Each structure stands twice: as C-alpha cells, then as structure tokens.
Homo-oligomer: A and B are copies of this chain.
Amino acid sequence: MKEAKVIFRPEDRAVAVPTRTNLVVAASLAGINIYAPCGDRGVCGKCKVQAWGQLTALTQAERGWLAPAEIEEGWRLACQAVVEGDVVVQLPIGRLQYARIAITETVGLAPNVRKIFLELPQPSLDDQRSDLSRLKEGLGMEETTVHLSVLRNLPRVLQESGYKVTAVLVGEELIAVEKGDTTALNFGLAFDIGTTTVVGMLLDLHSGRQLAVSPALNAQANYGADVVSRIALVMNEPSGLNKLQHEVSKTINGIIGELLQQTGVRRENIYEATIVGNTCMHHLLLGIKPISLAVAPYAPVVTDPLAVKAKELGIDIHPRASVFALPNIAGFVGSDTVGVILATGLHRSEEIKLAIDIGTNGEIVLGNKDRLLACSTAAGPAFEGAHIMNGMRGTEGAIERVWIDDDVKVQVIGRRKPRGICGSGLIDAVAEMYRAGVIDQSGRLINGEEAADRLPKSLSSRLITTTQGPGFVLYSDRHSAVVITQRDIRELQLAKGAIRAGIEILKKELGIEDDQITEVLLAGAFGSYVHPPNVVAIGLIPPLPEERLVSVGNAASVGSRMALLSMAARDIAKDIARRVQYIELSARPDFQEKFVAALSLPSSCVANEIRASV
C-alpha cells in the first residue's frame, strides 16, 4: 500500500495516508473533522477546501459545485478529491464549515474489539490441556468469558487451521475464533439515531480509518414525525413498540447494506456498533417502552451505558457482535448530547462554552470542566420545516440561504428552482426581513401603508395576503411561490424563544453573563447549515461576536465514533453523563418569564452591530 503525506493548513498538521484516500478521510486521520453530510457522494457541496498537489482530476460533481474562479483558486470538494501523492490542504477559515475535533489527540486507538493472532501448540500425550485452556494461555487471559457457540466451533477451527487462529474479543468476551490471521479484518459501526435521520459510519478498527458514511431517513417517521407521536403509538397500540423497534433496526440494516456495498467489507467482520441518540430513540431501538418520557416527572427507564447483543436488536452484523449504547443524561437529554460534549471537549474546557444541538428537540449544554448544565426545550419542529406553510426538510429545492437588500436573493439546495424553505433559510429570512424593516421588533409584518412609506417597491410588492393571513413572498414564478407568513414567523419566534429561555435559565443557574461564554458550538444539521450571525440576529442565542460562533457539524456522531474507537472515550462518556446536571425547565417558575421575554427580536442595534461584523 503506497502512502502519501498530506499537510493541513492553517495548523500545518501532517499525516501519512494510503493513496486512494479522499481528503475527508485524510483529514479525519489527522484528527480533523471536515463536515461532509452527504456521505462522500458529492451532492451537498459542503466540504469545500483548497488543495494542491497530487490529486485525482476534478469530478463531474465538483464541476457542478465550483465556479470557474473557485477552480482557479484550487478549491475542491474534499470528498471527491482523492490523494495520489503528497498534498497540501488549506482548510476554509471564514465560515468554519469544519470543526477541529482532534479525535486522535483526545483518545488513542483502543477499541473494545480486539483481534489477536495465535499460533498454538498442538495437543500431545505430554500436553493434554483442553482446547480452551490452550487458547486462553495463548491469549494470556485466564478469566475470559467464552460464548458457547465459540466452544462448539473451537475443535473444528483449531483442527482445520493447524492451531493458527485469530481470537476476536469484544470487551472481555471471546465472541469468535477465526482460522488463520484475520487481524486486519476488523470493522465497527458508529451510529447516530436521530428522530428524523439515522447516520451510520463504517470504521476500520485496525487502522482507525473511517471508510464510509451513509445517512438514511428513520423509517419510524412513517408512524409520526416527532418523539411525542411515537410515544403515543407505543401507549395506544399493543404492537406499537415492536413496530417502531423494527422500523429503526430496518433503517440501520439498510444503512449497513449500503456501507458494505460501498466498501466491500464483509458483514461477519463487523464486531461492534456504537449508538448515540435522544433518550426516546435510544429506548425504542432497545425495545424499551419510553412511555414515562411523556408524563411528569419524565424519568427515563435507563441512562447507564448498555452493551447488548446486536442480534437482540435485529441488527445484522456478526452473529455475536455487540451494540454499545452511550449513556443518556435525562429523559430529554440523550446520549447524542453526551456525544456532542465528548466530541467538542466541553467537559475538559477551561473556558465556559455553550453547545446547542437543534433537531426535533433542542438540547442545550452550558459550562466547562468544573460544571456542566443541560436542558432540553420543546423547540418544536419549525427548524426542520414543519408547521411552516412552505416549510420542508433540507433537501433539494429547499431555500437554505436568504439575503435582502433592495431585493430578495435566495440560495437553493441542488441549485434548482425553489420548492419551499428549510430551517436555515427560515432563520435567514426572518433575520433579513427584520433588518430590512419588513417585520418589526415584535415580529409583526408591517402593513401595506407602512411598507409604502419605508420600503422600496421591490420589497413592498412582496407583502401579500395568503389563505393563512399576511405573508411575504421570497420567490414566485407562474406556477408556484415560497412565502413566509405571519404565522411562520410566530412559529419561529416560539421555537427560538424556547431555546433562548433555556440558555438564559442555564446562565442564571451557572451564575454567568453573556460575555463569559467564549464559544457557542452549533451542532447537528441545524448547526451546520445556519448562517451563524443570523442566529444572533433573531435572538436565538445571546449577542456574541461572530468569531465566537462555531459550527461543529454532526458532533453527536463524532462522539459515537470516538466511543467505537476508544474505550477511554467510553469511560469519559460515562463520566460526562454522570457529571452533567440536568435542569428540568418545566419545574422552574422563572422559565415562562424568560420565555416571554425571549419571544421578541433583539433590539435592532444588536442585530446591526452583529451584521456590521459579517
């Protein structure tokens, strides 16, 4: 296998990688997580970097995403550009589309799965030890637990291999003995089980390399878009739990099939999977009824880390493989939040940081190595495009960016005609409408009279009345339009108000002021796609300078990956889950007050100040 040297700037971090590695994988080997949400398929255009040196030629996908001037400057899509020799990569520093998460710095490669090749002495009349004693002595592990089926196969495997075998240990359990030396065939999966999306990563546990990523929609969504509707199904239908468990394991198996096909890895060489997810997703995957999450006091069934057999969950990898579920913090702060903290190093930070992971719910963590507080807000699905007149998920045709000056400009996922608007587009739209004076500080759309006085015709003409009341047209053609209604704005205000109120409660509990927050980590799909200054402009987070805002991509899944690669990371995760203090907002009399205060938009001077720094 030929190796090449890749240097990542601005840090000048160097790494030796096998040729034929793409730049996303090369970066991960250097401990750098380039955000590449489409799973290396070249369809999202998010993983833009500048790169020079011995790389494969531009692909069709890159030509679609990169302007000729960009190509001139050396821009590539990291997932498409494949190393053929030494390369220098310049990571973008403007919008922070990547997070410098130094996995290899935090934790060494020490997975729970170990494969050990042994050449054992053959039995003789002078050495009548049992096959198992022979094996255990070879391993130097007297107290290993051995799965019965391993014992059943052991004599044949030893015979047929001439006593040259590879032992497969998951934790302290011997789950397989394979003929010959198979130590290089050692793979694992890291999953992030979201309410809407499930992401699976295939990792080589021998080298620590990530081989492939594959996302899929959680098939549970067929039974309800949010956590509450799924719990309701479990409560109301005797077979509800089984259905939902089956749907998510089906989704996971689909992803596994895709990952195997992409890489040629064999199913029986995958010995472990790790999972993170919110507490409800966690319970449903494990076949545990999450009913108690639906009613006060919202106590979950289990928060401890769990190791179960993949088979018990219907996950189709090695027949005796394990699934390790990272610990949850509370009923509405799950192992995905543990993953975010683990990946971003919040638990060992000297400075106080704020992490926000907005999916179907919004989880918020605030603190540093001394104390970490977490809460969850029912942000509602507005950020995922639900309950929004022209709302949609962040897929092709969704408006993802909006600019308003004299006129309205939009950017659409897939560079095609707009079909609707997704969460990041909605935040942009409201922030820009506020800045342009289309809405006032209370969030009210100005009326026609006010508009005629204050706005150019190009904007005032966009104020219309829809079937759902007043609205503002972002885009229209002969056949269709994308409109933001007054109701949509109110939905967004409620959602961002809940999150902001949560942040304020955590600040109060920790006894800090805004300025003490040195960094705001925006995690998840939300964090990756939003334009950070507009998150401040709508008041979702406190008014902080842009340089303190960092998109960390799908940090939860990075946490899952770290736990797969490192036992030390699991210990840390367990410690995090215990240390984080959960704040139940519904139990706080001051929450409603903070919530109401957070509904309005920030005074325009703040918004403008932030805008000035863009």
Interface residues of A (CB under 8 A from B): 123-134, 136, 146, 148, 151-152, 154-156, 286-289, 291-292, 296-304, 306, 308, 312, 328, 330-331, 582, 584, 586-587
Contacts and interface: CB of A to CB of B under 8 A. Distances in A.
Contacts of A132: 301-304
B304 A133 contact: yes
Closest 10 CB pairs of A and B: A123-B299, A130-B303, A132-B302, A125-B587, A130-B300, A125-B297, A131-B301, A123-B297, A148-B308, A128-B299
B297 A154 contact: no
Contacts of A582: 128
A296 B291 CA distance: 60
B330 A155 contact: no
A598 to B, nearest CB: 23
Contact of A299 (B131, B292, B301): B131
Contact of A304 (B130, B286, B328): B130
Contacts of A287: 148, 152
30 contacts: A123-B292, A123-B299, A124-B297, A125-B297, A125-B587, A128-B297, A128-B298, A128-B330, A130-B299, A130-B301, A130-B304, A130-B328, A131-B300, A131-B301, A131-B302, A132-B302, A133-B302, A133-B303, A133-B304, A134-B299, A136-B304, A146-B306, A148-B308, A148-B312, A151-B288, A151-B302, A152-B287, A152-B288, A152-B289, A154-B302
A232 to B, nearest CB: 16
A509 B369 CA distance: 66
Contact of A286 (B151, B289, B298, B306): B151
A11 B345 CA distance: 71
Nearest to A327: B130
A580 to B, nearest CB: 13
Contacts of A156: 289
Nearest to A587: B125
Nearest to A312: B148
